[in-house]
Amino acid sequence: MKETRVLNAAWWLLLGATAVTYVLGEMGLVAAGGGWALAGLWALTSIKGVVVTQVFLEMRNAPLLWRWLLLGWLGLVLALIAVAYAVGGRLGG
């Protein structure tokens, strides 16, 4: 029963975070808000990635090496997206 509550809480968290990012995007607040809005979206994306990894991929009970590999991969992908965004902004893309 506890596992069902954890899954439901994670699902609601993901649903809420997705709704927030959708509303911010549709209202144009990300483009108008500048760096803070973008940092907020990046933080929400990070949280969503960790929740999916830990809860839905069931890495909470996996060996530490596997958890760190998956979370490291998530961090690498997010860092590369941030670098691509920064480089694209400098190049006028």
Parent domain of 25: 2-90
The pLDDT score that the predictor gives to residue 36 is 77
Is the model more confident about 34 or about 88? 88
Q: What was the pLDDT predicted at 41? A: 85
pLDDT at 33: 63
What SS3 string covers 23-90? HHHHHCHHHHHCHHHHHHHHHHHHHHHHHHHHHHCCCCCCCHHHHHHHHHHHHHHHHHHHHHHHHHHH
Q: What is the pLDDT of residue 87?
A: 87
The number of distinct structural domains making up the chain is 1
Residue 88 has pLDDT above 90, yes or no: no
Q: Percent of the chain, pLDDT > 90? A: 54
Instruction: Identify the pLDDT of residue 37.
Output: 76
